[in-house]
């Protein structure tokens, strides 16, 4: 199976920059988006051969996720099951016979870590959600299911290690590279999930998925790796490739990919 994930930072804008051609070229089995910045009915998108699933934020023009899948899932979940965390359209989870696929757009801790408490609550709830799916436990209102492994992807809004950003020193303590956010990502991995890209490319430097629009950051490759594919540890032996498509333009993020045998 081939999976693609992309934070498009506004789908309506990216549609004007060749999104449909890029989408077709990847020919993914499952294609996940983050930061669609849409409400229902605001875009007409025809993707022949794909089923489409959307989560929308209550706030207009903000957040939002979507997943396009060639196969129809057994069920779809659009939140963590916690009312305080489920107003921003940050989750689309699809159940397939052999695995769960989870698309996530993690909240940004914001300047001076103004939203860090919310971020910490999200990270804990998200980890519990994914471990629950593995164990066959779903939020209230979802269909009961069997235990099965998880593939998760998206913009996690954290650079895990110093190798995952160009300038770790000056950014230590800033949103996306605070000790607190990095520790929560550690806990997610220790809970039984594998960072597919870093496992296959443990020493590769300069591999980033997001660049600021300021200071010619992308031209100079002064970026951050904050977009990930994680899999349940039991799926790790099936990982054939994990890629970052930095040549693909249209957003301040680039797409990332995963192929499972």
Catalytic residue positions, numbered? 105, 155
What's the order of all strands across the beta sheet hosting 30-34?
51-55, 65-69, 30-34, 2-7, 256-260, 239-244
Beta-bridge partners for 54: 66
The residue among 24, 34, 3, 1 whose CA lies nearest residue 257 is: 3
Q: Which residues of 225-237 are buried (b: 16+ CB within 10 A; e: fewer)?
A: bbbbbbbbeebbe
Give the separation between CA 106 and CA 125, rounded to whole angstroms.
Answer: 11
Q: Extract the tokens encoding 23.
A: 């989408």
**N-term to C-term CA, the chain:** 7
Give the separation between CA 211 and CA 221, rounded to whole angstroms.
Answer: 7
Q: Which residues of 112-147 are buried (b: 16+ CB within 10 A; e: fewer)?
A: ebeebeebbebbebbbebbbbbbeeebbeebeeeee
C-alpha 178 chain-centroid distance: 19
Give the separation between CA 47 and CA 66, rounded to whole angstroms.
Answer: 13
The residue among 68, 74, 72, 75 whose CA lies nearest residue 27 is: 68
């Amino acid at each position: 199976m081939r999976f693609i994930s992309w934070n498009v930072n506004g789908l309506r804008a990216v549609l004007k920059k060749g999104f449909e051609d890029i989408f077709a070229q990847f020919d993914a089995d499952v294609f996940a988006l983050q930061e669609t910045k849409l409400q229902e009915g605001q875009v007409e998108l025809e993707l022949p051969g794909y089923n489409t699933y959307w989560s929308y934020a209550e706030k207009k023009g903000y957040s939002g996720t979507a997943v396009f899948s060639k196969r129809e899932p057994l069920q779809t979940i659009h939140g963590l099951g916690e009312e305080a965390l489920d107003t921003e359209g940050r989750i689309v989870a699809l159940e397939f016979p052999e695995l769960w696929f989870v698309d996530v757009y993690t909240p940004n801790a914001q300047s001076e870590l103004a939203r860090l408490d919310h971020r910490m609550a999200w990270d804990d709830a998200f980890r519990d959600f994914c471990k629950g799916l593995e164990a066959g436990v779903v939020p209230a209102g979802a269909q009961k299911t069997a235990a099965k492994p998880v593939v998760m992807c998206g913009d996690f809004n954290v650079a895990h290690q110093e190798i995952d950003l160009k300038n770790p020193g000056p950014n230590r303590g800033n949103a996306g590279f605070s000790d607190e956010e990095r520790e929560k990502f550690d806990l997610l991995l220790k809970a039984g999930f594998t960072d597919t890209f870093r496992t296959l490319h443990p020493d590769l430097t300069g591999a980033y998925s997001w660049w600021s629009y300021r200071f010619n950051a992308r031209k100079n490759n002064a970026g951050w790796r904050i977009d990930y594919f994680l899999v349940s540890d039991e799926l790790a032996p099936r990982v054939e490739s994990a890629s970052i498509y930095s040549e693909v333009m249209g957003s301040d993020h680039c797409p990332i990919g995963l192929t499972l045998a």
